[in-house]
Amino acid sequence: MSGSLVIATLATARDSLKSWPQHGTSSTLDVSGITRMDTPGALFLSALRELGVSLTGIRPEHQTLFDLIDSLELKRLPAVATVPRWRQMVTALGKGAHDLRHEAFSLITFVGCVASWLVDAAVHPTTLRPSAISRHVRETGIQALPIIGLMAVMIAIVIGYQGVAQLRKYGGEDLTINLVAVSVLREMGVLITSIMVAGRSGSAYTAEIGVMKTRDEVDALTVMGLEPMQMLVVPRVIALVLTLPVLTFFADILGLIGGAAISQVLLHMAPSQYLSRLPQVVSLSDFMVGLFKAPVFAFCIAAIACMHGLRVSGSAESVGRETTRSVVKSIFLVLVLDALFSILFERLKV
């Protein structure tokens, strides 16, 4: 054997040995022509020696590597004990319950900490950072108006179109206005807006704070005597609490406009008739219910986003993982809170 015996040429060497004719019971392999050898190559030759092949012409620089390999205790890895499927399911359920309890406790603790800092900011307004709040208001509010308006119009059109298609069977297509107006004002306006904000602004909050964690900027704030909660979390929470009700109001208006468009196309109802019909089908309470839920959703979205941003451990993978968890958890909590609000308002007859 001659040439280079390294990990890249092992397959060629193995195939060549298989093709060699065998004569007699003993085999001898001359390795004096090998000019270059690495650890995988030496392991390959050692395995041949264990199979009864004699190696001759080993160079001194290669003999040291053979001596090192001979001193190792090469044993097969023990077989991994198989775990029954039912035990894996039970273990996964227990781990999921433990993680859920830990996440709930962490969320409640962080929300309480954020609420404490907000109260402190209200008592000491000089600690607020108006420039940071205004920047976040612009990014989460003003720049989100186009996509929020488009989604509100599209949702209203979809609800109206499906409502007409179903109610026409019973001769009640005029009730489509009731369906669109009540759905948009009470539920869909604030719900779609909150989901869009969670995916757009919540992910941005987590990524921004997460990148600051990876660059040790959060630790630098602590070293300088500045509180990260006051500098990073409070402005973002205040900005989102201020902007989400405004975005919800904007979505409600655009949703009603979308309802007017679909009513004119499918029901041949003039916009003046649509406007005169609206006070008969909706009340001020329907409008206030959606606006009441918006600050609560905003507080939860901002708190969850900042919490996961502060959890980033220092790698790009951690930033992506925590951003994903932030968006998923925010949307899930918004849906749960919306369901609870629906039950509460139904019990209160609001």
Task: Judge if 212 and 307 occupy the same domain.
Answer: yes
- All residue ranges of the chain with pLDDT < 70 are 21-26, 74
Task: Judge if 202 and 334 occupy the same domain.
Answer: yes
Residue 105 lies in a domain: no
Task: Judge if 220 and 306 occupy the same domain.
Answer: yes
Task: Judge if 33 and 142 occupy the same domain.
Answer: no
Residue 255 lies in a domain: yes
Task: Judge if 61 and 153 occupy the same domain.
Answer: no
Q: Do residues 290 and 185 touch, judged by C-beta distance below 8 A?
A: yes
Residue 18 lies in a domain: no
Residue 107 lies in a domain: no
> How many CB atoms sit inside 10 A of residue 193's CB?
31
| Structural domain containing residue 177 | 122-347
Task: Judge if 305 and 183 occupy the same domain.
Answer: yes
Task: Judge if 223 and 288 occupy the same domain.
Answer: yes
So what's the pLDDT on residue 11? Answer: 86
Residue entry with tokens 């005029």:
174
d(CA 235, CA 228): 11
Residue 99 lies in a domain: no
282 phi and psi, to 5 degrees? -125, 160
Task: Judge if 198 and 57 occupy the same domain.
Answer: no
Task: Judge if 280 and 143 occupy the same domain.
Answer: yes
Q: What is the pLDDT of residues 243-281, one digit of tens each?
A: 999 999 999 999 999 989 988 888 888 888 888 888 888
Residue 186 lies in a domain: yes
Quote the pTM value.
0.77
Q: How far is CA 171 from CA 111, 130, 165, 179, 269, in A?
A: 50, 55, 10, 15, 16
Task: Judge if 160 and 33 occupy the same domain.
Answer: no
Residue 117 lies in a domain: no
Q: Domain count of the chain? A: 2
Q: What is the pLDDT of residues 284-323, one digit of tens each?
A: 888 999 899 999 999 999 999 999 999 998 788 899 999 9
Task: Judge if 208 and 338 occupy the same domain.
Answer: yes
Residue 85 lies in a domain: no
d(CA 68, CA 37): 14
Task: Judge if 127 and 65 occupy the same domain.
Answer: no
Q: Do residues 258 and 252 touch, judged by C-beta distance below 8 A?
A: no
